[in-house]
Amino acid sequence: MKKKILNNRKLIYFLTMLLAVLIVTSCLANGNYVTNNVLEDKMVEDVNIDNVVETQPPYVVVVDVISKINDLIEKIINSPKECWRKTAQNRKNTMINKLTSLKELILQELFEEAYNKMLHDIKPKLTALKTDENEEPWGNGTFKQAWVVCEYLRNEFRVDCNAILILI
């Protein structure tokens, strides 16, 4: 059973990366370029170099954020069950499902929904914090029913969640 789950995770990871490659190929084939995270059908000419803000093409950001989410999923899978509230395996599985749905939102380019899901649903449960990617509190700043009870793991998850929020 464990081998089948591992094979399913590998398949999901492979399919996610394949989809990201297809997005990249599609954007390149259509000649799309990015300006302030909005796809344009043509190159922009006569640009004042002093006002240019360097941005990454959206497909690069999508690949980066999906990769970070996959890393977080692996960290959750490999985390000790003693660091999770009871029942640990159920909470881990639920969090993996939440992160999988987060990836789906990102692949559908529903970035605002993805950001809100990470900020208000996922991060508080993993870190016991109600803070954004810059550690600015929202609400009262703390989440009383965090799923993770080990402080070192909460800190690792906080760093990972903030990195994902920044990319979204």
pLDDT tens-digit series, residues 94-121: 999 999 999 999 989 899 999 999 998 9
Contact 139, 107 (CB under 8 A): no
Position 168 scores a pLDDT of 84
**Cβ partners under 8 Å of residue 45, min gap 6:** none
Identify the CA nearest to 152 among candidates 83, 77, 82. 83
Position 35 scores a pLDDT of 40
Using the structure block, give the residue that is written with the tokens 């081998």. Answer: 3
Identify the CA nearest to 152 among candidates 82, 70, 87, 62. 82
Q: Which amino acid, one-letter code, is at 94?
A: T
Number of structural domains (the chain) is 1
Residue 87 sits at φ, ψ, to 5 deg, of -80, 125
Position 151 scores a pLDDT of 92
**Cβ partners under 8 Å of residue 99, min gap 6:** 69, 72, 73, 76, 122
Position 41 scores a pLDDT of 41
Q: Cα–Cα distance between 1 and 4 in angstroms, integer?
A: 5
Q: Cα–Cα distance between 78 and 166 in angstroms, integer?
A: 24
Which range marks the domain in which residue 45 is found? 2-167
**Mean pLDDT of the 11-24 span:** 64
Residues 23-82 pLDDT 10s: 655 555 554 444 434 444 444 444 444 444 444 445 556 888 999 999 999 999 999 999
Q: How wide is the angle at C-alpha 82 spanned by C-alphas 142 and 136, nearest 5°? A: 20
Element spanning 4, H or E: helix 2-29
* Predicted TM-score (pTM) of this structure: 0.62
Looking at 11-15, 26-30, 104-108, 158-162, which range is the least confident one?
A: 26-30
Using N-to-C axis directions, what is the helix angle for 58-78 and 88-107, rounded to 10°? 170
First to last CA, the chain: 34
